[in-house]
Amino acid sequence: MSNKLIDIVNITKTFDENVVLDQLDLYIRENEFLTLLGPSGCGKTTLLRILGGFETPDSGDIIFDGKNINKLPPNRRQLNTVFQKYALFSHMSIAENIAFGLKIKGKSKGYIQDKIHYALRLVNLEGYEDRTPDSLSGGQQQRIAIARAIVNEPKVLLLDEPLGALDLKLRQDMQYELIRLKNELGITFVYVTHDQEEALTMSDTIVVMNQGYIQQIGTPEDIYNEPQNAFVADFIGDSNILPATMVEDKVVKMLGSIWQCVDVGFGRNKPVDAVIRPEDIDLVKPEEGIIEGVVTHLIFKGVHYEMEVLANNYELLVHSTDMFPVGTEVGIKVDPFDIQIMKKPESEDAEAVGIEE
Amino acid sequence: MKSRKLLSGPYLFWAASFIIIPLLMIVYYGLTDKEGGFTLLNLAQITTPENLKALGLALLLSFISTLICLVLAYPLAMILSEKNVNQTSFIVLIFILPMWMNFLLRTLAWQNLLEKNGIINSILGFLHLPAQTLINTPYAIVLGMVYNFLPFMVLPIYNVLVKIDKDVIYAARDLGANNLQTFSKIILPLSIPGIISGITMVFVPSLTTFVISDLLGGSKILLIGNVIEQEFKQGSNWHVGSGLSLVLMIFIIASMALIAKYDKNGEGTAF
Amino acid sequence: MIKNAAKRFYLILIFILLYSPIVTLMVLSFNSSKTRSKWGGFTGKWYVALFQNQDIMNALYTTLIIALVSALIATIIGTAAAIGIQAMKPKFRTFLMGVTNIPMLNADIVTGISLMLLFIAFHFSLGFKTILLAHITFNIPYVILSVMPKLKQTSKHTYEAALDLGASPVYAFFKVVFPDIMPGVFSGFLLAFTMSLDDFVITHFTKGPGVDTLSTKIYSEVRKGIKPEMYALSTIMFVTVLLLLFLVNITPDKKEASGGKRLKIHRKHRVSRVVFRKVLPTAMVIVIIAGGFFYGSQNRDGGSNQVIVYNWGEYLDPDAITMFEEETGIDVVYEEYETNEIMYPKIQSGAIAYDAVCPSDYMVQRMIENDLLAEIDFDNVPNIKYIDSTYMNQSRQFDPENKYSVPYLFGTVGILYNKTMVDEPIDSWSVLWDEKYKDSILMQDSVRDAFGVTLKYLGYSLNSTDLDELEAAKKLLIEQKPLVQAYVVDQVRDKMIGNEAAIGVIYSGEALYTQVENPDLEYVIPKEGSNLWIDSWVIPKNAKHKENAEKFINFICRPEIAKMNFDYITYSIPNSEGRKLIEDDWMRNSKIAFPDPEDLKNCETFQFLGDENDAIYNQLWREVKSK
């Protein structure tokens, strides 16, 4: 991909002795759709607000296009923000809202008119110029908020959980809308969300965060298929995380049995965590599996059946297109490639710090 | 639902008995003479030069006080709304706590401060500055009004300001507005309900006060409130007093209309 | 950084503006001098005196009980009303909220007057009950406006869910809705309580005799100087509330980061919440009610066997009242007024039935002419014999047959001046128009005194009804206005003692007292002549306890009591036996207290000039005041 646009160097931010971001490093490329993903309180919004200029970091630097912008106030940054609750100006019409930034920059009337039309067409809300924000639905307000930001032609658009307040159907529509917009505008999007599905759908790069630390950076596929620790595995999609022992390279002991896997370099007889996605567990006849279990729950989910299988005192979550009624004795098999081994964290803090150590 | 509505029954009765009927009594007294015949003469009393002057002076002083209150209160409300102070403790500090020192005593204490040999002049004397005549002047009355009614201006403005979504302000900054532009284009227009509410809450009591002009004006300065008070308590002409009160109510109704227009959702209430 | 410093500086400035009078009052409460304008050294004696001053403690009790009861009732009615209003159709709701806003936005004076008119029209006798009704009226809107927003936040569904789960509507309300709106109810109550506590104007118009809240008590004291005990009381109240608030805020719900800590704080906070939500209010109620019984048992007995006395401010030794009550078992309800003109309409309207009133000469005449007075049965007032015949004869000017009035005190009107502030010997009213004394002159704030002085200066009679003469006097008074520091009544005394002014028009009785306090002061009856006045006891026709009033007047005429009164107020007594009892030679022989007939040769007594002429005087006076 293209060059670095923003370099975040060693950023630390605390609120009342509460460390929100701890020596964080990250870079954002030009034209990238980068998502900051994590549970609430993980520091993702703070990071976005530091980029927007609404918070100053305690230490560290923000380098934008080669220049340090730490001290630059928000109104002089080439970034624009779309706020979570839209933050439209309720005392202005839609057109006035969109024109706000342009008027401040002293653009000509004609230019502003053109831009309003262009932006409203872009977000599919032509003809709404004279309405007031109150008279619009949540989804429409969200589009206006985006239109208001993009008319200023920022190099980067910062989006703070912009779809959080919308209902499911609208949220899915808006996801495609955002991808389309990003492609049409050709600018960088930095997107904050706690919704893994949104992240996986839209992003070029996902940054998983927890408790002020970055847990993993990667493409959606990397993040989903190869979570680097239990937090990421647990946070992204459903997964079975099992305590296990690495007997030797490519051999792991879990659920009371020995399994083949592909991971190496964890040492001998070391306690580890093993991650298995529910759709990667194959249910077979009892004698064909590596271990045996009993189906305890069964729910039809449309695309597949969701089952819980009790094996060796562990409840395993299984997704399968085959149906096994409750009480069926089954054998359990997992392809070695689908067992992901992770180092066991020694404490909660160590877990948060994750891969850096 | 029906039974819940019935809960307001006692209040409806109360409001009719002690709000509506008394006002009608004023209207009745204001429009009749001593023999009970209809007359407009009581209302016309406002046009006598003395009463007109008292009204004019009251309008002028309350206008000035309201203006000063606004100028003082707005920055105060802004600072406090930025500060994330606990709202209750702020109201208590600025509004409730001083009230436990009686209003008359508090106003009277200004006599001590403003007198010829008072505290302010003593300080001026200490600094070798010439003593000022402060007490018994219109300035003293304005000071008294500002002092007593300032909280009524601060509270509604503050209440509107804290309700402004911080993100709206960030959005304005984000879109390129500097501090001044953010203030004039976003914060000020959004706080108009509070300003209007504050203006009426300061203007009406200032316009109609008789105590402050009494205590700090040395009875030299007659405001319309003093005239009405004297009609009731001294001059014994309740009809004229009621007539003048009716004239005052025109200003009060006007301010209520102003609130109704600019503060439809009751955002700017003081409490 | 600079910006923050500026903000802090601004906050401090506002804080100084709001709190400097309060600090001033606190300092005054430790001032050993009785007058406000002089620092006499540090003392705590007023705090001791406070608890012995039954008047103030009574006023405090009345204030607190009215605040508490009116806030409670307003909270109940207002909360119920808010719930009801919330359930109404928007149109009606808007209308009702408009009505609710009336007492908040309406001028206090208009609200007060309107309620007074209502009470009088429906023959509610003005008193404790009317104050209470008025306070409830202006308190309800504060409660409604505090509760409404909380109600709006409360989801209707929780209430419905409770009903769905089998709760009765009442149970559902108290278990589900009420806890949600509780903070609003509580702050509404607090606001109502405070508003009631601080109200003056509405109480001023709706109160009756014998009932005083702190506000009205203070207002009646303003003219003659606030009693320092009042400062002490205010300081105690303020500091108490300050401490309470400090205690409440010492356990704030700080949002701490770590979970364990949060739990602990939560528990601590809970304890303090119990204390401040339950224990403190309960304690307050107990204290107030107990205090009520305490003072009630001391004071409020014998309701019907009483005498309602309406007298000038600071015009009778309170000990004399106590002695009278102990001797006769008659309860004295004591009310004060500042000028004849304030007193008269109250008697005339009959809103309050006073039993004994003490008007001045011309006002006695006016009341006789308007048939407001009852003949006194002198069989019940044998002590009339101690009154010097000179003054009985003087009284005939306004009470030709000595049927309606008993002389109480007399005196002259003259000039009090500060010897250190004037250059020349003063013997003429002309000094009141001397540019040299601009802003150092105190004029009397009453029609007849102001015009009397001016008419005398012009060489006319102070009972003149000649329009040209009056017009000339008016012009002169207007001319004088820029020179006048203030128009006051009893405040002349304190201001002269405190060296606030050089020259003041004053009653002789006050002059004597001021000389004791400030030896630089001198009193003179100007050579042009002045007013010789006599204040006399009369009994209004509508008195309900006429015999008690006669007993009271007879008691006052007793020589020992007359002498006691002279010692207390230093006004001249017409009681010849009483004068002989005065121990202090200087006082007994003082020319100010007991002037020679020589000094009085140009002096006149005020006469009632008829309603029409009175109206002319009033009109002219208003023209002076509004210039």
Question: How near does any CA of chain C get to the CA of B120, in Å?
Answer: 11
Q: How many domains does chain A have?
A: 2
Residue C37 to residue B72, Cβ atoms within 8 A: no
CA distance A245 to A174: 44
Task: Of B41-55, B82-96, C411-425, give the lowest mean pLDDT range.
Answer: B82-96
State how far residue B245 is from chain C, nearest Cα, in angstroms: 6
Q: Do you know the residue count of chain B?
A: 271
C-chain residue closest to B30, CA distance: C114
Name the C residues in 195-214 with CB < 8 Å from any B CB: 195, 197-201, 205, 214
Binding-face residues of C in 110-129 toward B, CB within 8 A: 110-111, 113-118, 121
Query: Is there a domain that residue B237 lies in?
Result: no
pTM: 0.78
pLDDT at C264 over 50: no
* Candidate from A88-102, A287-301, C7-21, C269-283 with smallest mean pLDDT: C269-283
Task: Report the pLDDT value the prediction gives residue B114, as an integer from 0 to 100.
Answer: 86
The answer to whether B164 contacts chain A (CB < 8 Å) is no
Given a contact cutoff of 8 angstroms between Cβ atoms, the answer to whether C160 and C166 are in contact is no
Strand partners, A160: A192
pLDDT for C600 equals: 80
Order the strands of the A18-29 sheet from edge to edge.
Answer: A18-29, A4-15, A59-64, A67-68
* Same domain, residue pair A221 and A244: no
Mean pLDDT score, B125-132: 82
Look up the ipTM and state it. Answer: 0.88
Higher pLDDT, A130 or C104: A130
CA distance to partner chain B, nearest, from residue A141 (Å): 13
B187: domain range?
Answer: 56-223+251-262
Interhelix angle C178-198/C54-86, nearest 10 degrees: 140
Query: What confidence category does residue C258 fall into, taking pLDDT thresholds of 50, 70 and 90?
Result: very low
Q: How many CB atoms lie within 10 A of CB B261?
A: 10
Q: Which residues of C touch A17 (CB under 8 A)?
A: 257
Q: Environment class of residue C172 by beta-carbon count within 10 Å: exposed (0-12), middle (13-18) or buried (19+)?
A: buried
Q: What distance, in Å, lies between the first and last C-alpha atoms of chain C? A: 51
By CB atoms closer than 10 A (0-12, 13-18, 19+), residue C612 is: exposed
pLDDT computed for residue B218 by the predictor: 79
Residues A279 and A212 placed together within one structural domain of the fold: no
pLDDT band at C259 (very low <50, low <70, confident <90, very high): very low
**What are the tokens at C443?**
């004029």
Residue with tokens 């309409």: C345
Residue B8 within a domain: no
Q: For residue C280, what pLDDT is reported? A: 62
Q: Report pLDDT for B265.
A: 60
Q: Does a structural domain hold residue B76?
A: yes
CB A195 within 8 A of CB A201: no
Question: CB distance from C2 to chain A under 8 Å?
Answer: no
B4–C83 CB contact, under 8 Å = yes
Yes or no, beta carbons of B173 and A53 under 8 Å apart = yes
C175-192: pLDDT as tens digits: 888 888 888 898 889 889
Q: What residues of chain A lie within 8 A of the CB of C257, using their CB?
A: 16-18
- Is residue B131, in this structure, part of any structural domain at all? yes
Give how far B181 is from chain A: nearest CA, Å.
8
Identify the residue with better confidence: C303 or B188.
B188
pLDDT single digits (tens) C437-481: 988 899 988 888 899 999 999 999 989 999 999 999 999 999 999
Q: Which of A104, A112, A150, A157 to mutate to test the interface with B (most CBs of B within 10 A)?
A: A104
Judge: B174–A89 Cβ closer than 8 Å, yes or no: no
Q: For residue B205, is it within any domain?
A: yes
Asked if C99's CB is within 8 angstroms of B19's CB, the reply is yes
Interface of C with A in 219-278 (CB under 8 A): 257
Please tell me which chains touch B, using 3 or more CB pairs under 8 Å as the contact test. Answer: A, C
| A230: in domain | no
Lowest mean pLDDT among B242-246, C74-78, C273-277, C320-324: C273-277
Quick one: closest CA in C to B245, which residue?
Answer: C110
Q: Mean pLDDT throughout B151-167?
A: 88
pLDDT digits (tens, 9 = 90+) for A200-233: 999 999 999 998 889 999 999 999 888 888 888 8
**According to the model, what pLDDT value does residue C267 have?**
44
When scoring A16, A20, A211 by the number of chain C Cβ atoms within 10 A, the one with the most, hence best to mutate, is A16
Query: What is the token pair recorded at C345?
Result: 């309409």
- The pLDDT score that the predictor gives to residue C257 is 37
In a domain, B160, yes or no: yes
Q: Residue C536 is inside which H or E element, if any? A: strand C532-537
Q: How far apart are CA C272 and CA A16, in angstroms?
A: 24
Contacting residues of A for B168, CB less than 8 Å apart: 87-89
Distances (CA, A) of C451 to C413, C446, C478, C586: 12, 9, 11, 33
pLDDT band at C42 (very low <50, low <70, confident <90, very high): confident
Q: For chain A, positions 2-21, list CB contacts with chain C under 8 A.
A: 16-18
Specify if A231 maps to a domain. no
pLDDT of residue A2: 63
Q: Contact partners of C by the rule of 3+ C-beta pairs under 8 A?
A: A, B
Q: How confident is the model at residue C406 (pLDDT cuts 50, 70, 90)?
A: very high
Rounded to whole angstroms, the Cα distance separating C7 from C15 reads: 12
A233 occurs within a structural domain: no
Please tell me the predicted confidence (pLDDT) of residue A217: 93
Task: Please list, in sequence order, all residues whose beta carbon lies within 8 angstroms of the beta carbon of residue B250, skipping any fewer than 6 positions away.
Answer: none
Residue A4: which H helix or E strand, with range? strand A4-15
Q: All domains of chain C, ordered by start, with CATH? A: 2-47 (no CATH), 54-226 (1.10.3720.10), 306-409+535-588 (3.40.190.10), 411-533+617-626 (3.40.190.10)
% of chain C with per-residue pLDDT over 90: 26
Determine what percent of chain C is predicted with pLDDT higher than 70: 90
- Segment (H or E) for C306: strand C306-312
Instruction: Among A166, A198, A225, give the residue marking a domain's end.
Output: A225
Distance (Å) of CA A163 to CA A343, C182, C526: 35, 35, 90
- Domain of A348, in residue numbers: 239-356
Cβ-based contacts of A18 with chain C (< 8 Å): 257
B84 touches chain A (CB under 8 A): no
- All residues of chain B having their beta carbon less than 8 Å from the beta carbon of residue A53 are 173-174
Alpha-carbon gap: C256 to the closest alpha carbon of chain A (Å): 9
Given a contact cutoff of 8 angstroms between Cβ atoms, the answer to whether C513 and C314 are in contact is no
Tell whether B264 lies on the interface with C, counting CB pairs under 8 A.
Answer: no
pLDDT at C344: 84
Out of B79, B113, B116, the one facing C20 most closely (by C-beta) is: B113
Inform me whether the pLDDT recorded for C272 exceeds 70: no
pLDDT at C554: 93
**Domain annotation covers residue A132:** yes
Residues A135, A42 share a domain = yes
Residue C296, pLDDT above cutoff 60: no
- Nearest residue on chain A to B167, alpha-carbon basis: A87
| Whether C18 contacts chain B with CB within 8 A | yes
Q: How far is A16 from chain C (nearest CA, A)?
A: 8
Looking at the structure, tell me whether residues A41 and A165 fall in a common domain: yes
Going by pLDDT thresholds of 50, 70 and 90, the confidence category of residue C252 is very low
For residues A33 and A132, state if they share a domain: yes
Are A217 and A252 in the same domain?
Answer: no
* Cα–Cα distance measured from residue C152 to residue C146, given in angstroms and rounded to the nearest whole number: 11
The two tokens of residue C432 are 């009141």
Query: How many beta-carbon contacts under 8 Å exist across A and C?
Result: 3
Q: Is residue A234 part of a domain?
A: no
Chain B interface mutation, best of C255, C348, C626, highest count of B Cβ atoms under 10 Å: C626
C82-97 average pLDDT score: 84
Query: DSSP letter at C330?
Result: P
Q: Are A74 and A122 part of one and the same domain?
A: yes
CA distance C326 to chain B (A): 33
What confidence tens digit (pLDDT) does each residue in C568-588 have?
Answer: 888 889 998 888 888 888 888
Residue C266, min C-alpha distance to chain A (Å): 19
If pLDDT is split at 50, 70 and 90, which confidence band does C379 have? very high
Is the pLDDT at B166 greater than 90? The verdict is no
Taking the C-alpha atoms of residue C486 and residue C480, their distance in angstroms, rounded to an integer, is: 11
Any domain includes A315: yes
* Average pLDDT of span C598-605: 83
State how far residue C194 is from chain B, nearest Cα, in angstroms. Answer: 7
Looking at chain A, list the stretches that DSSP marks H as alpha helix, in order from N- to C-terminal side. 44-52, 94-104, 109-122, 138-150, 168-185, 196-202, 220-225, 230-235, 348-353
DSSP state of A134: G
Q: Nearest CB to B167: which of A83, A148, A149?
A: A83
pLDDT < 70: residue spans in chain A: 1-2, 345-357
Of C17, C201, C237, the CB nearest to B147: C17
The per-residue pLDDT for range B37-55, each reduced to its tens digit, is: 888 888 888 888 888 989 9
Q: Count of alpha carbons within 13 Å of C64, Cβ hemisphere only? A: 18
Residue A210 or residue B84, greater confidence: A210
Supply the CATH number for residue A110's domain: 3.40.50.300
**Which residues 341-400 on chain C approach chain B with CB closer than 8 angstroms?**
341-342, 344-345, 348-349
What per-residue confidence (pLDDT) applies to C550?
93
CATH of the domain at B179: 1.10.3720.10
Tell me the mean pLDDT in the region C28-36: 81
Are C376 and B264 in contact by the 8 Å Cβ rule? The answer is: no
**Of A181, A198, A225, which residue constitutes the final position of a domain?**
A225
> Which ranges constitute the DSSP H helices of A151-273?
168-185, 196-202, 220-225, 230-235
A137-151, C253-267, C441-455, C547-561: range with lowest mean pLDDT: C253-267
d(CA C47, CA A127): 75
Give the one of B79, B107, B256 whose C-beta lies nearest to C101's C-beta.
B256
Single-letter amino acid, residue C49: A
Instruction: Calculate the alpha carbon distances from C289 to C64, C128, C239, C397 in Å.
Output: 10, 16, 21, 53
Contact B171 A87 (CB under 8 A): yes
Q: How far is C117 from chain B (nearest CA, A)?
A: 7
Residue with tokens 């100087």: C225
